[in-house]
Amino acid sequence: MRVAKLPDDRYPAISDLAKKAKKRIPHFAWEYLDSATGGETAMHRNAKALSDITMVPRTMKGIIEPSIETEMFGIKYSAPFGIPPIGYTSLMWPYAEQIFAKAASEHRIPHCLSTVASDTPENCGKISGDYGWFQLYPPRKQEIRTDIIKRAKDSGYHTLVMTADVPWPSMRERQRRAGISIPPKITPKIFAQICMRPEWALRTLFRGQPNFDVMKKYVPQGDLKKIVSFVGSELGGCLDWDYFKKVRDQWDGPVVLKGVLSTDDAKLAVKAGADGVWVSNHGGRQFEASPAPISVLPDIKKAVGTKAKIMLDSGVRSGGDILRAKALGADFVFLGRPFVYGVAALGAKGGNHVYELLYHDMINNMHQLGITSLDEMKNVELKF
């Protein structure tokens, strides 16, 4: 019997990477990454709803060789999971976006660059190659939208993701308590936090303060403060189905709507031309009362059928969770904080480590379930 070989046995689970990340980055960066909104019950509900689903193992299957290769939108991915958009990622670890893009192309999984990333599509697109997706928050000005879409296309991005679940900024109480602001205000408290994380501080000093690099272009001669205020007034608050259809018409590749939890919205997305519906509550960061995406997945799958691909994120923390989502109808699964924990904990090796950990965990779980292909997940007996 072959035991899974991980790059570093000190971190066999996502929770080990989270613990290490917390010790390696300043408290304010940790709070930005790890927090949700309100009392954070949505974030906890996401994880609980997944772990409450049990899968009945099957035995006596002899020698099996599970495969998790997954084809989507004409691309063969090595696994059915990827890295979703994360804004301002270089706050957690300098050059995190490029580390993700590299892990994506090396392992053949998607990396979705955010509109509010701290790196550009021009830099990251050539690293992620065929595996790059680009996420759009809706700019109000048509010329900015058109330019961002063109830049993403010219940089080689394959799939466009439109995020729908940020109609308004959420409260993010824990971030406020931590004194987080962009640009960071260097109060004595924040300065002390930075001094306690010398490697992060030095690397950040060499890279330079993270900025909204995609948006910088639209605020010529603007300092970070002006860019932040521009981003706040320009992005969001304007998305409707007409807007979505315009974006659909501007992109000659797959378009996915992210942040869908309602069956009606899923049906409308398909009607408006979406190739994919991404079931997500933004990791519990937007609306505390929202249901766990896994709990609405079966109804959305029933409503959408095979008319569009279905993606899911929020609370996924293991290969077992990815299989739970597959069993309930997801074509593809994304993990936000886990990939960032990996990079904050292990730097350039983090993306690779999270990939290996999830890959082996999926294969291990498939042996327990006695299945060789992900298609067989629909036959696995579930107990709630």
Ligand X SMILES: Cc1cc2nc3c(=O)[nH]c(=O)nc-3n(C[C@H](O)[C@H](O)[C@H](O)COP(=O)(O)O)c2cc1C
Please answer whether residues 108 and 100 qualify as being in contact, where contact means their C-beta atoms are separated by less than 8 angstroms: no
Q: Which of 106, 129, 88, 130 lies closest to 349 in space, CA to CA?
A: 106
Distance CA 37, CA 48 (A): 17
> Quick one: angle between helices 319-327 and 350-369, nearest 10?
60
Tokens, residue 72: 């989507």
Task: Sort 158 into a burial class: Cβ within 10 Å, 0-12 / 13-18 / 19+.
Answer: buried
Instruction: Between 260 and 371, name the residue whose CB sits nearer to ligand X.
Output: 260
From residue 142, give the alpha-carbon distance in Å to each of 138, 154, 321, 349: 9, 18, 39, 39
Closest CA to 130 of 102, 97, 160, 156: 156
8-state DSSP, 77: E
Task: Give the C-alpha separation, 368 to 384, whole Å.
Answer: 18
Question: Using CB atoms, what's the residue nearest to ligand X?
Answer: 336
Q: Residue 76 or residue 140: which is nearer to ligand X going by CB?
A: 140
Active-site position among 27, 107, 282, 353: 282
Sign (positive or negative) of CA dihedral 361, 367, 372, 377: negative
CB of 158 to ligand X, least distance (A): 17
- Residue 31 CA to residue 94 CA, distance in Å, equals 17
Q: Which residue bears the tokens 């893009």?
A: 101
Q: Is 360 a catalytic residue?
A: no
Give min distance, CB of 367 to ligand X, in A: 25
Q: Give the span between the Cα atoms of 375 and 3, in whole angstroms.
A: 25
Chain centroid, CA 36 distance in Å: 14
User: Minimum distance between the CB of residue 135 and ligand X, rounded to whole angstroms?
Assistant: 5
Binding site for ligand X (CB under 6 A): 32-33, 46, 84-87, 114, 116, 135, 163, 258, 280, 282-283, 285, 313-316, 335-337
**What percentage of the chain's residues is helix, strand, coil (to nearest 5)?**
50, 10, 40
- What does the block give as tokens for 16? 């080990």
Catalytic residues: 282
